[in-house]
Amino acid sequence: MPLPDTEKARYHMIEQQVRPWQVSDSRVLELLASVKREDFVPIAYKSLAFADLEIALPGGQQMLSPKVQARLLQDARVQSTDKVLEIGTGSGYMTALLASMARHVLSLEIVPELVEMAQAHLQNARIHNAEVRLADGALGAAVDAPFDLIVLGGSVAEVPSSLLSQLRLKGRLVAIVGDEPIMHAQTITRMSDTHYQIDIKWDFTAPRLQNFLEPSHFKF
């Protein structure tokens, strides 16, 4: 029996975009097949749900392409016991993927319309172990720390130490870090109270998260 058009598009997304981008974790691939990405895309862009591009969201935000979200999720190495902090909820799709693998996800979003959108999407998807909170993600959530995993849903010039301090020992932070034209996906692991191990994974230029400091490049 031939696949319905939506399922065919999902299959091609996984096989032609995600796998060739060195995503081989079977748990990630299975989630991409089961968590319905099209249900997390604004109605006006439903036809682009499986396209290899970023999708516009309210508040000037963007939903990252499927292959980038999948690669970040693979890098995160989510465990079933993980307490996760996500910064930049967007439409709630990455939140749903993380929550499907982790114990609990706290997701911070600065755009009120996106908070409402993501909450509705997660409720419709019957995801019950994720909380979406209206907050400035650049500050993190110190009162809820420590976290086993922190995932940034957009790029930053650098990861602030105040955010890294919210990681548990051996906890890790996944983010796209740097300035155009070259940014690097990084996994930063907390090795001790003051020491962090940085692993540079791959290159990609992603939209900025709001309110993170941009270091001055001015020189005397």
Q: What is the pLDDT of residue 220?
A: 46
The H-or-E segment that residue 169 falls in is strand 167-179
Closest CA to 167 of 146, 193, 186: 146
- Residue-by-residue pLDDT tens, the chain, 220 positions: 556 799 999 999 999 999 999 999 999 999 999 999 999 999 999 999 999 999 999 999 999 999 999 999 999 999 999 999 999 999 999 999 999 999 999 999 999 999 999 999 999 999 999 999 999 999 999 999 999 999 999 999 999 999 999 999 999 999 999 998 889 999 999 999 999 999 999 999 999 999 898 876 555 4
The pLDDT value recorded for residue 218 is: 52
Closest CA to 52 of 9, 101, 95: 9
CATH, domain range 5-203: 3.40.50.150
> What's the pLDDT score for residue 216?
62
Q: Which residues contact 75 (CB under 8 A, 6 or more apart)?
A: 174, 185, 187, 201
Q: Tell me the chain's radius of gyration from C-alpha atoms.
A: 17
- Cβ-contact 40, 93 below 8 angstroms: yes
Sequence spans of domains, the chain: 5-203
Q: How many residues does the chain have?
A: 220
Among 39, 61, 34, 37, smallest CA distance to 51 is for 37
